[in-house]
Amino acid sequence: MICAPKLEDSVIVASNERGELTEDERSRIIEHLQKGTEMMVYQQRAERFTVQVIMETMQVALIGSRDRIVKVLDIFELKELRQWETFQDFQRFNESSTFRKIFGLSEKEVQQDSKTCFTIFYGSEFMLKSLSLNADSVEDAEKWLTGLELLRQETLAAHTPEIIESWLRKKMYIDNTKKNSITLKELKSLLPQMNITVPDGRFLEERFVEVGAKDYVLDFQQFHKFYDLLIFENQEVLLEEFEKGPAAFTISNTNRPESSVLPLSDFQNFLLYRQKETWAKNLNKVQELMTIFINDTMRKTDYPKFTIGEFLSFLFSKENSIWDEKFSEICPLDMNNPLSHYWINSSHNTYLTGDQMRSESSTEAYVRCLRLGCRCIELDCWNGRDEPVIYHGGTMTSKIKFKDAVKAINDHAFITSEYPVVLSIEEHCDTTQQKVIAQMLKDVFQDKLLTKPLDPEAKHLPSPNQLKGKIIIKHQKISESDHTDKQGNTAGKSKLNSFKNVFKKIGKPKENMVLEKEGELCIWDPIHMRFYKHDCVISDNKLYYSEEKEEDSPKEGSDLHLFEPWFHGRMAKGRITAKRLLHDFCKGRNGKDGTFLVRESDKFIRNYSISIWTRRRVQHYRIFWSSENGHASFFLTSKQCFPSMCALIEHYRQNLIEYDGLNLHLKNFLPRLNFVSHHQLGWFYSNLSQAKAEEYLLRIPRDGAFLIRQREEPDTFELSVRVEGVIKHYLIYRYNGKYVLADIYEFFRLEDMVSCFREQLFIGKIKLRYPVTPQLVERICMEDLLTCDGELYSEVHMVGQVPEDNPLGHQCKGVVDISKCNVARNAKYGRPLVVTLLNKENVKLIEFTCEILEQVEEWYQVVLNIIQSIIEKMENKTKIAVEMSDMVVYCQSIKKTLNTTFENYNCKEVRSFKDDDFTKKGNEVKPDCILEYNRIALSRVYPKGFRVDSSNFDPCPSWKLGCQMAALNFQTADKFMWLNSALFSLNGGTGYVLKPEWMRDPTKKKPSKQKIRIRVIAARHLPNSEHIISPFVKVELLPYTGARVDDYSFKTTFLNDNGLNPVWLGPRNPPKCFEVDEPDLAFLCFEVSEGDAFSDPKVLAQATFPVRGIRSGYRSVPLKNVFSENLELASLLVHVEHVEV
């Protein structure tokens, strides 16, 4: 059977329609491409090259001066052709005077000749490479667009012998130079690229003689024969497989690939009884199949015969694929069920090209996903400066315009599949920009946009056939009872007699201000990771809080020891390390008694230890610390206390220590290795740009965040501070041994400067409060990221600007609008009860507690009463623009808790869940309830927030529960994307796969269990990137439905230095029988990896198939790369047996 290409691979669309070509027209176009055309080629710069197709290798070549080939690309990797007006980069150059100058065209001419420009997109990864070209005439451009499309189709449909010949030509054309011969020396260099080693030079010389080479030079025919010998050399042993069992045949004299033959009748019996091919009863079809692999025209008769080399070539070919192509065909009748009866190919954060933290956002990511068959794509919409933008909020991912994204979606939505596309809009915009979004959707999609139900009275969703060519919006919708009343909210404004009087130091509030609660709260500082005390007032449904109150703390001098070289801070393994260091230091220098070091105690918080060398041994003593009325004390014995550690050390340098048997002075000290002050380690950067400094500071949402960095000029530094949300920079330079800040302040050390302005105001009301370290930035980024991946959002309400007429007056530091918050309480941070106020996206705004448990309970009740009162009046109100709401028909986003989400629903709703919602503790929902919901309505499962590397979750548990949309990161090449690609290869790659009958109808039963036996036999043409590989194969049945991993996977042995034609036979590679519990949702995954005793295995290739489409017999497994893109000629040979249960 001939394999058809994937649907997404078979479609290349230019902007104009091209009808069927006659053979004569085709020949003229291909001849034109072979001759070559001079064009302007745009890569990093614009240059003129001759662009030519090399038919022997099926490549496009760029040829420079002296006929030198400077670049080639395989037509096999070509994915799309796009003309100028549809390619954003060309539009940008169209507006550039530089571009017009390069081409020597006026602006009018550029507009008129836009059809002469086109872009080739190619590659084998998620993000494609591009080659942009400008032909001299529209006719030339059209010939190239048409011709390349034809050649791509022919390349995908080419039979295996043709692909082998093209592959051999590419190997012979060393350094992209057209050649008709190859020398022995060149062949030796070529063998590593062919992924094989040979025993020695004599082996090659003998093969040269066998193929009739003269003077150690091979022409192409001889090179082909050499390849046949080489590929056969290790695999002739495979022929023993067919000498036993049903339809056995014996082949004698098997030492050469052409030394024996397999007649038509034996091959037909092999297909019928070994391969279970019922079509092989038709002898004409068997003859046609054999003719494909016979390269001798004299044997292409009515009764053809295979050589044993041709027979083996067939076994490894895509024409003998393990996959039954009938499962890849579209079944139009299966597209008439309600939308909820399908698994739908879905993407998460579709705009991203990499991780969730720093990667680029791109409209091309939308194009790629749509062309890969994705039918549900995500748009994270945020307020932009002038118009909405898309990016992963709260991260450093780049932004793209919403308008550009929807234009790209419109251009490519229905190229691969004509069935509906769902736009999952994650809304973060205010209502003003939501209106802009709505208008853009209307303007771009026009009549494609579904804005009304097909049948308003229907109780089931329409079918994919009914929704062909439609764009469906997934978003929150305003219900009829949600319309906002015009009256202002006065919820929770009941006066509390006990709170009428405010602190006198605060000042008198406005006459009409309603005070609900006042007092002192301990507010959590997420930067310093501790509580600070604040004066607080709840008034008019808002929580106002003052600057943190001064606390009793040690005076500045008590921390001076941090800057001393004898202070070693916290040491790993405490006294053991101190003993070793002192012993080594003193023994090598004839150390004197009294040599010492001081370190933090590894047993007692805020206490220290002094380790002293005395009498050729190390003694350790505790230095105590205490604080009373803000004054610190340090002491060895309570009889003599010191205000600082430095004072204590200096005293005992001058006076004897008479304590616990000691009677000596402190003398020399062991200096700390590479001594740098404790503070400086955090906030000082020796190699940081100003731009990076600003990036760090902007990540810390607190005024007073600061760092100091070394500038390029000698003895100059820069203090960068966040002031009222803006980053300000101040010059520091050294002069006469001092550090001068802003030409005003002078300090002997940077540490002194920081210490000064951590205590005193630096600018306005700002102190140097938060030292910005890389660790702090990383922690804050991670915390932000974990809160920004929820599905359903309302308007964001962060800590607000402080109004002048607030009840705390000038002491007010911030305000939180309780009416726009959620509240939670639990034990955390070492306190029995902490109250947390969160915004509607569940991002923490403020966390507080009190010293007395009853008081924090009172504050919590006041806050809770306000919120509950607001909810009662606002439960039907939203922050959704009416224009957006009106576009939502069948995918109305509903937010409910998991345990209530499957109650009182209708077919127009869609629920969203994190990937672990169904498995985490506390989930009381039965699988049958979820299945029943998914028969009627839609659900979408998305990766939980901590997957910052864009890793994917296993979609199988979600699919098993009937969830239609398991949204994966398409840009990530992992095993779960392999499963996704395998599932949606069904039904023609349309992006819709009908769920099994038992999922759609509760009266139907699951199919019975099955067994399948797999044996890996051999491989050919395994990929190698840098060296000859030593491969092994792992086979898995996914998903695992039991506890024992060994029941669902096995590995072959690992073979040394052979990726061209390895063989796995013998007792060390036995077959494996898998029990398939759920045949409708089971996958067989073949994974080829490179073995390495010194590192983890590296995945080289894979192939993943739904078990339902696996064919029996000796089958080829065409391999793909980790991005599920086809690999040229790479395949496994396996034996498959479906075992009756």
Structure tokens at 547: 């600057």
Beta partners for 1063?
1018
Using an 8 Å Cβ cutoff, are 378 and 967 in contact? Answer: yes
The verdict on whether omega for the bond into residue 1067 sits within 30 degrees of 0, i.e. cis, is no
Nearest to 960 by CA among 1041, 1034, 905, 863: 1041
The CA-CA-CA angle for residues 1040, 983, 424, to 5°, reads 110
Catalytic residue among 224, 341, 348, 534: 348
Q: For 929-1066, where are the E strands, in sequence order?
A: 938-942, 965-968, 992-994, 1010-1020, 1031-1038, 1049-1051
How many CB atoms sit inside 10 A of residue 914's CB?
Answer: 17
Helices (H), 974-1036: 975-983, 997-1000
Sign of CA dihedral 386, 114, 367, 441: positive
Q: Could you write out the DSSP letters of every residue in 1039-1106?
A: S--SS-GGGSEEE----SSBSSS-B--STTS--EEEEES-GGG-EEEEEEEE--TTS--EEEEEEEEE
Q: Could you write out the DSSP letters of every residue in 130-198?
A: EEEEE-SSHHHHHHHHHHHHHHHHHHHH--HHHHHHHHHHHHHSGGG---SEEEHHHHHHHTTTTTB--
Q: Is 145 exposed, middle or buried (0-12, 13-18, 19+ CB in 10 A)?
A: buried
Place of tokens 């600082």: 644
Nearest to 676 by CA among 757, 756, 567, 582: 567
**In a 3-state reduction of DSSP, which class is residue 475?**
strand
Beta strand pairing status for 705-710 and 684-685? parallel
CA–CA gap between residue 228 and residue 545 (Å, rounded)? 82
Q: How many residues does the chain have?
A: 1141
Query: Is 392 one of the catalytic residues?
Result: yes
Q: Is 830 exposed, middle or buried (0-12, 13-18, 19+ CB in 10 A)?
A: exposed
Place of tokens 């009018």: 108
Using an 8 Å Cβ cutoff, are 1134 and 1016 in contact? Answer: yes
CA–CA gap between residue 604 and residue 422 (Å, rounded)? 60
C-alpha dihedral, 334 to 335 to 340 to 344, nearest 10°: 100
Place of tokens 């705390």: 808
Using an 8 Å Cβ cutoff, are 212 and 222 in contact? Answer: yes
CA–CA gap between residue 546 and residue 533 (Å, rounded)? 9
Structure tokens at 203: 């082996």
The number of C-alpha atoms within 13 Å of 768 and in the hemisphere containing its C-beta is: 25
Nearest to 835 by CA among 820, 819, 818: 818
What angle in degrees, to the nearest 10, is found between the helix axes of 431-445 and 402-412?
A: 30
Query: Is 1135 one of the catalytic residues?
Result: no
Catalytic residue among 392, 428, 568, 1021: 392
Using an 8 Å Cβ cutoff, are 412 and 368 in contact? Answer: no
Please name the helix (run of DSSP H) or strand (run of DSSP E) that holds residue 520, with its range, or none.
strand 515-525
Q: Is 1070 exposed, middle or buried (0-12, 13-18, 19+ CB in 10 A)?
A: exposed
Place of tokens 């302005």: 757
Catalytic residue IDs: 348, 392
